[in-house]
Amino acid sequence: MTAQILDGRTLARTLRAQLKSSVQGRLAAGQRPPGLAVILVGNDPASEIYVRLKRRDCDELGYHSNIQHLSENISQEDLEERIVVLNEDPTIDGILVQIPLPPHIDGHRIIDRIDPTKDVDGFHPYNIGRLVLRRPALRPGTPKGIMQLLEQTGVAIRGLDATIIGASNHVGRPMGLELLLAGCTVTTAHKFSKDAREAARSADIVVSAVGKPGLVKGDWIKPGAIVVDVGITRDDAGKLHGDVVFDEAAEIASWITPVPGGVGPMTRVAMLQNTLLAASDKPA
Q: Just list the catalytic residues.
A: 54, 98, 121
What is the 3-class SS of the chain, one letter each residue? CCCEECCHHHHHHHHHHHHHHHHHHHHHCCCCCCEEEEEEECCCHHHHHHHHHHHHHHHHHCCEEEEEEECCCCCHHHHHHHHHHHHCCCCCCEEEECCCCCCCCCHHHHHHHCCHHHCCCCCCHHHHHHHHCCCCCCCCHHHHHHHHHHHCCCCCCCCCEEEEECCCCCCHHHHHHHHHHCCCEEEEECCCCCCHHHHHHCCCEEEECCCCCCCECHHHCCCCCEEEECCCEECCCCCEECCECHHHHHCCCCEECCCCCCHHHHHHHHHHHHHHHHHHCCCC
